[in-house]
Amino acid sequence: MFARPLKLAELLEIKKRIDLWRNMMKLSAPKQITWFIALALAVIALLGQTAVVAPLTPYSFWLALIAAALLLIATIVKGL
């Protein structure tokens, strides 16, 4: 019914894996210009989705996806 307590060796292995993951995933904040470009793309996508700018309506999903991907990549790649 209850989970058994972890042994010391198991705890050390878990800690080792967490430390390895932290060393692999060193995230950084995106540069301000990158953030503003992603924000502009998201606003343009929103305007296209609400049909304020009708020619952008078919592309609104892709513009929002590009904005999100840009922010994701900028947090992983240092200096972007």
Over residues 9-32, the pLDDT tens digits come to: 888 888 888 888 877 778 888 999
CB-based contacts of 74-78 (< 8 A; 24+ apart in sequence): 74/30, 74/31, 74/34, 74/35, 74/38, 75/27, 75/28, 75/29, 75/30, 76/25, 76/27, 78/26, 78/28
Residue 68 within a domain: yes
Establish if 43 belongs to a structural domain: yes
Q: Total domain count for the chain?
A: 1
Q: Answer yes or no: pTM beyond 0.75.
A: no
Does residue 65 form part of some domain?
A: yes
pLDDT in tens, 29-70: 899 999 999 999 999 999 999 988 889 899 999 999 999 999
Q: Which domain holds residue 65?
A: 27-80
Q: Let me know if residue 7 belongs to a domain.
A: no
36 domain-assigned = yes
